C-alpha cells in the first residue's frame, strides 16, 4: 500500500492539538516579551520618533490668527484682521522666513509698528481654527475663543508654528551645498581609510598567522590597544604630532593635518584592531592541505598566495572592509577634533542639533547617514554567514615554516605598525605630562587638575566608571537572558524571529543617530519615560542598546554550543527551567558572559557618539570631557583624560583576565578534565 492510498483512506482529523503551556513556557515567553518591550522602548520607538521628525516641518501660519484693535477708549471697531493680511501690508516678515523649528516662537507685536505697552489700546486675538495656537506669557491658548488683552499683556503673546508632514526638509537638505558636500566627504574618507586599514591589517595578520616571526604575543597585544581609547584620542595625538606646533609637522610638507589627512590617519588607528581581528580569524582557519597540494603542483609562492591564501581569506577581508567603512562613516569624535573645516555627516548631525538647535535637520542628516551604515551592515552580515560555512569544514591547521628573510621582514613591518600605535598613545601621555607645550617642556601634573577645566572634572571620570560598570552589569544580564530565551524556548516562532531582528538592529544604527533619536523620544514631555532624561539611567540604556548586537551574538554562539536537549531533560525530570539556567547554563557559559561584560565596559568607557546628546551637567562622562576640553582649547588635559580612559580599560582587561583564568579554573574544573 503506498502513501497516497493511506492518505485517501484515512481522512485527516480536524481537531488540532493545542499545546497546554507549562509554567516555564509562560515564564519564558513573559521574559521574552519584557526584553522585547525593552528593545521597543530603547530602539524602535526612538527611531520612529526620529524618522517622523525628519519629515516634519514647522511654519508660522499667519492665516490661522485674527486680531482686533480697540481705540484709545477701549472700544473695539467691528473690523477683524488676519495676521496674514497684516503681514502682507507691512511686510514685517518675508514669507520664506516663516519656517522654524518645533520650538519656534514669534512675538506678535512685530505686526504692530506703533505698538506701545503703555498705551491704553486693547487687543483681541484668537485662533481661526483648532490648528492655530499661541502663548500668552507661558499659557498655551488653543481653540477659537477671543482673548481680550491690554497692551502690556499683548506684548507677551507669542505665536506657535503649525506642524506639517512632507519631504521639504530633505529638499532643503539636498539644496544646501554645504550640507550635501558632507555626503561626498564622508564617503571619501571612509573609502580611503578602509583601503589603507585593510591592507595594513591584512599584512599584520598575515605576519602573525603565517610566519615564524618573533614577539607575536606582544604584537597581538599592541594591535588591540586602540580599542581601549576613544576615537577622539588619535585626533589629539595628531594635533601634537602634525599640528601647528607639532613635533614632526615637517613630514606633511606644508599640508594641514586638520582635514581629510588627519581624519584618515586617525581612522586607520582606531579601526585597525577591528580589521585585524576579523582578518586574523579568517587566516587562522586556513587548510594546510591546500598548501601541500600547491607545493606538490609546483606552484610559485606568488601564485599560491593569489590562488589559495586570498580566496581563503576573502570573506574575512570583505567583512573587515565593511566593518571599517561603517566605523569611519559613523564616527563622530575624530572628525570633530581633527576635521577642521572638512564637514562629514556625523559632525553635521552634532552641529545641527547642538550648534543650531535645528533638530529636524539633524534628523534628516541622521536618515542620510543610516543608509550607507545599513548597507554596509547588511553586506557584512551576508558575508559573515558565508564565513561560518567555511568554518564548519574540517580542515588541517596550517603550520608556517621558518624563513629567516621573510620572518625578519615581517618583524620590521609589524614593528613599524606597532611604533605607529605606540607612538600615537605615547605622544598623548607625553603631552599630558608637559607643563606648557611646546614652550615649557618640564614635567608636571597640572593637566590632571580636571576640576579646573570645563567638561566635568574628575567627577566625569568617576561617572564614566559608574556608567561602564552599570552598563556591563545590566547589559550582560539583559542581553544574555534575552539570548537564552530566544534560543531555548519552545514554539512561539514569530515572536522569536521578531526578537532576533530587534537584536540585530542596533549594529546598523550609528551612535549619533541613536543618541538623537533618544532626544526625540525621551525628551518629549508627553512621554511618561521622560523622567529618565538627563539621568545616568538614559546613558546606561542607550549604551546597552548601542552595543547590544555584538554581545547578543556572543551569547547566542555560546548557547548554541550547549546540548540542545538540556531543556528537554530538565523538563522530563520535572525541574524548573530556572534551576537549569542558574546551575548549568550560566556556569557553562561563564567565559562568554565575562567576555560580554568586558566588551560592554570598554565600549561604555570610550563611547562618545550616542551619549554626547544625552549627558547632563551632573552626568558628564570622561569621553565627553575629552571632547569638551579639546573644544575649549585645553588639549593637554583632554589628552590626559583620554589616557585615563586607556589605563582604566587596561586595568579592567587585567581584572577580566584574572577572573577568567583564576576563578574559572576553580568553577570549571570539569572543562580541564575533558
Q: Which residues bind another protein (CB under 8 A)?
A: 1, 3, 6-7, 10, 12-25, 563, 565-566, 568-576, 579, 583-584, 587-588, 667-671, 673-674
Measured from the CB atom, is 19 or 178 closer to another protein?
19
Measured from the CB atom, is 25 or 150 closer to another protein?
25
Rounded CA separation 57/274 (Å): 40
Measured from the CB atom, is 399 or 493 closer to another protein?
493
Rounded CA separation 125/129 (Å): 12
Measured from the CB atom, is 101 or 576 closer to another protein?
576
Measured from the CB atom, is 255 or 569 closer to another protein?
569
CB of 492 to another protein, least distance (A): 13
| Contacts of residue 494, Cβ cutoff 8 Å, sequence gap at least 6 | none
CB of 396 to another protein, least distance (A): 24
**Cβ distance 274 to 462 under 8 Å?**
no
Q: Between 590-606 and 622-631, two packed helices, what is the crossing angle to 10 degrees? A: 20
**Cβ distance 535 to 619 under 8 Å?**
yes
CB of 572 to another protein, least distance (A): 5
CB of 569 to another protein, least distance (A): 5
CB of 561 to another protein, least distance (A): 11
3-state secondary structure 70-119: CCCCCCCCCCCEEHHHHHHHHCCCCHHHCEECCCCCEEHHHHCCCCCCCC
Measured from the CB atom, is 24 or 61 closer to another protein?
24
CB of 14 to another protein, least distance (A): 8
| Contacts of residue 540, Cβ cutoff 8 Å, sequence gap at least 6 | 467, 470, 471, 474, 475
Cell of 424: 600615537
Measured from the CB atom, is 22 or 63 closer to another protein?
22
CB of 310 to another protein, least distance (A): 39
Phi, psi of 293, rounded to the nearest 5 degrees: -60, -45
CB of 490 to another protein, least distance (A): 8
In order of 116, 210, 214, 288, 406, the CA distances from 400 in angstroms are: 90, 5, 13, 9, 11
Measured from the CB atom, is 10 or 443 closer to another protein?
10
> What string of DSSP letters covers 202-238?
HHHHHHHHHS--S-HHHHHHHHHGGGGS-THHHHHHH
> What string of DSSP letters covers 51-65?
HHHHTEEEE--GGGE
Give per-residue burial for 13-43: e unless 16+ CB within 10 Å, then b. eeeeeeeeeeebbebbbebbeebbebbebbb
Rounded CA separation 530/223 (Å): 42
Helix H or strand E encompassing 435: strand 434-436
CA-nearest of 576, 578, 645 to 605 is: 645
CB of 673 to another protein, least distance (A): 5
CB of 8 to another protein, least distance (A): 11
Cell of 296: 606538490
In order of 60, 574, 577, 590, the CA distances from 568 in angstroms are: 64, 10, 9, 22
CB of 488 to another protein, least distance (A): 13
In order of 171, 174, 362, 443, the CA distances from 168 in angstroms are: 5, 10, 14, 56
CB of 573 to another protein, least distance (A): 3
CB of 580 to another protein, least distance (A): 8
Measured from the CB atom, is 6 or 389 closer to another protein?
6
| Contacts of residue 413, Cβ cutoff 8 Å, sequence gap at least 6 | 203, 204, 207
**Cβ distance 74 to 577 under 8 Å?**
no
CA-nearest of 453, 430, 461, 454 to 644 is: 461
Q: How many CA atoms lie within 13 A of 499 on its CB side?
A: 27
Rounded CA separation 236/257 (Å): 11
Rounded CA separation 575/24 (Å): 10
CB of 574 to another protein, least distance (A): 5
Measured from the CB atom, is 292 or 563 closer to another protein?
563
Using DSSP's 3-state secondary structure scheme, residue 395 falls into coil
**Cβ distance 352 to 361 under 8 Å?**
yes
Measured from the CB atom, is 16 or 393 closer to another protein?
16
CB of 25 to another protein, least distance (A): 6
CB of 594 to another protein, least distance (A): 15
Alpha-carbon 244 to chain mean position: 31
CB-count exposure of residue 393 (10 Å: 0-12, 13-18, 19+): exposed
Measured from the CB atom, is 32 or 69 closer to another protein?
32
Measured from the CB atom, is 20 or 405 closer to another protein?
20
Measured from the CB atom, is 25 or 148 closer to another protein?
25
Measured from the CB atom, is 530 or 579 closer to another protein?
579
| Contacts of residue 562, Cβ cutoff 8 Å, sequence gap at least 6 | 585, 588, 589
CB of 588 to another protein, least distance (A): 5
Amino acid at each position: 500500500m503506498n502513501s497516497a492510498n493511506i492518505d485517501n483512506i484515512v481522512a485527516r482529523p480536524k481537531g488540532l492539538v493545542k499545546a497546554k503551556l507549562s509554567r516555564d513556557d509562560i515564564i519564558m515567553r513573559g521574559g521574552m516579551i519584557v526584553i522585547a518591550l525593552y528593545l521597543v522602548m530603547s530602539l524602535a520607538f526612538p527611531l520612529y520618533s526620529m524618522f517622523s521628525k525628519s519629515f516634519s516641518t514647522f511654519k508660522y501660519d499667519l492665516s490661522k490668527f485674527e486680531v482686533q484693535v480697540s481705540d484709545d477708549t477701549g472700544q473695539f471697531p467691528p473690523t477683524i484682521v488676519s495676521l496674514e493680511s497684516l503681514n502682507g501690508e507691512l511686510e514685517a516678515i518675508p514669507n520664506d522666513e516663516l519656517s522654524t523649528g518645533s520650538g519656534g516662537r514669534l512675538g506678535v507685536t512685530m505686526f504692530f509698528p506703533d505698538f506701545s505697552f503703555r498705551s491704553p489700546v486693547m487687543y483681541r486675538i484668537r485662533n481661526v481654527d483648532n490648528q492655530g495656537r499661541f502663548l500668552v506669557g507661558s499659557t498655551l491658548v488653543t481653540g477659537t475663543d477671543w482673548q481680550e488683552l491690554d497692551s502690556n499683556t499683548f506684548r507677551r503673546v507669542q505665536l506657535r508654528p503649525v506642524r506639517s508632514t512632507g519631504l521639504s526638509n530633505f529638499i532643503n537638505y539636498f539644496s544646501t551645498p554645504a550640507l550635501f558636500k558632507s555626503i561626498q566627504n564622508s564617503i571619501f574618507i571612509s573609502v580611503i581609510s578602509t583601503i589603507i586599514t585593510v591592507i595594513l591589517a591584512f599584512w599584520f595578520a598575515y605576519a602573525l598567522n603565517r610566519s615564524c616571526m618573533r614577539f607575536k604575543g606582544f604584537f597581538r597585544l599592541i594591535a588591540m590597544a586602540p580599542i581601549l581609547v576613544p576615537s577622539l584620542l588619535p585626533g589629539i595625538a595628531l594635533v601634537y604630532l602634525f599640528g601647528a606646533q607639532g613635533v614632526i609637522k615637517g613630514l606633511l610638507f606644508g599640508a594641514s593635518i586638520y582635514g581629510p589627512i588627519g581624519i584618515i590617519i586617525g581612522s586607520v588607528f582606531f579601526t585597525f584592531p577591528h580589521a585585524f581581528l576579523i582578518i586574523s580569524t579568517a587566516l587562522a582557519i586556513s587548510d594546510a592541505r591546500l598548501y601541500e597540494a600547491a607545493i606538490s603542483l609546483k606552484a610559485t609562492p606568488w601564485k599560491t598566495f593569489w590562488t589559495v591564501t586570498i580566496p581563503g581569506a576573502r570573506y574575512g577581508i570583505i567583512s573587515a572592509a565593511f566593518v571599517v567603512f561603517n566605523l569611519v562613516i559613523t564616527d563622530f569624535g575624530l572628525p570633530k577634533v581633527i576635521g577642521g573645516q572638512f564637514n562629514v555627516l556625523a559632525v553635521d548631525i552634532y552641529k545641527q542639533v547642538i550648534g543650531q538647535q535645528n533638530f529636524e535637520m539633524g534628523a534628516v542628516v541622521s536618515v542620510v547617514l543610516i543608509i550607507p551604515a545599513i548597507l554596509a551592515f547588511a553586506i557584512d552580515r551576508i558575508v559573515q554567514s558565508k564565513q561560518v560555512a567555511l568554518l564548519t569544514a574540517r580542515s588541517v591547521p596550517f603550520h608556517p615554516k621558518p624563513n629567516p628573510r621573510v620572518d625578519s621582514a615581517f618583524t620590521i613591518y609589524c614593528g613599524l605598525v606597532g611604533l605607529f600605535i605606540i607612538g600615537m598613545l605615547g605622544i598623548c601621555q607625553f603631552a599630558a605630562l608637559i607643563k606648557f607645550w611646546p614652550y615649557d617642556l618640564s614635567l608636571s601634573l597640572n593637566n590632571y587638575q580636571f576640576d579646573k577645566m570645563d567638561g566635568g572634572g574628575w567627577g566625569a571620570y568617576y561617572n564614566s566608571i559608574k556608567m561602564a560598570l552599570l552598563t556591563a552589569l545590566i547589559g550582560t544580564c539583559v542581553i544574555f537572558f534575552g539570548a537564552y530565551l530566544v534560543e531555548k524556548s519552545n514554539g512561539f516562532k514569530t515572536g522569536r524571529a521578531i526578537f532576533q531582528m530587534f537584536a540585530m538592529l542596533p549594529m546598523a544604527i550609528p551612535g549619533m543617530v541613536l543618541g538623537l533619536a533618544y532626544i526625540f523620544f525621551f525628551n518629549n514631555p508627553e512621554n511618561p519615560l521622560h523622567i529618565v532624561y538627563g539621568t545616568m539611567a538614559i546613558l546606561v540604556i542607550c549604551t546597552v542598546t548601542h552595543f547590544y548586537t555584538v554581545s547578543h551574538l556572543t551569547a547566542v554562539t555560546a548557547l548554541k554550543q550547549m546540548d540542545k536537549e538540556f531543556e528537554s531533560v530538565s523538563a522530563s525530570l520535572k525541574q524548573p527551567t530556572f534551576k537549569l539556567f542558574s546551575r548549568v547554563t550560566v556556569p557553562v557559559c561563564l567565559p562568554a558572559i565575562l567576555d560580554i561584560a568586558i566588551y560592554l565596559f570598554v565600549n561604555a568607557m570610550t563611547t562618545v557618539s550616542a551619549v554626547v546628546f544625552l549627558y547632563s551637567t551632573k552626568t558628564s562622562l570622561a569621553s565627553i570631557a575629552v571632547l569638551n576640553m579639546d573644544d575649549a582649547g585645553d588639549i593637554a588635559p583632554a589628552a590626559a583624560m583620554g589616557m585615563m580612559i586607556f589605563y582604566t580599560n587596561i586595568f579592567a582587561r587585567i581584572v577580566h583576565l584574572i577572573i577568567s583564568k583564576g576563578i574559572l579554573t576553580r568553577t570549571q574544573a570539569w572543562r580541564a578534565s575533558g
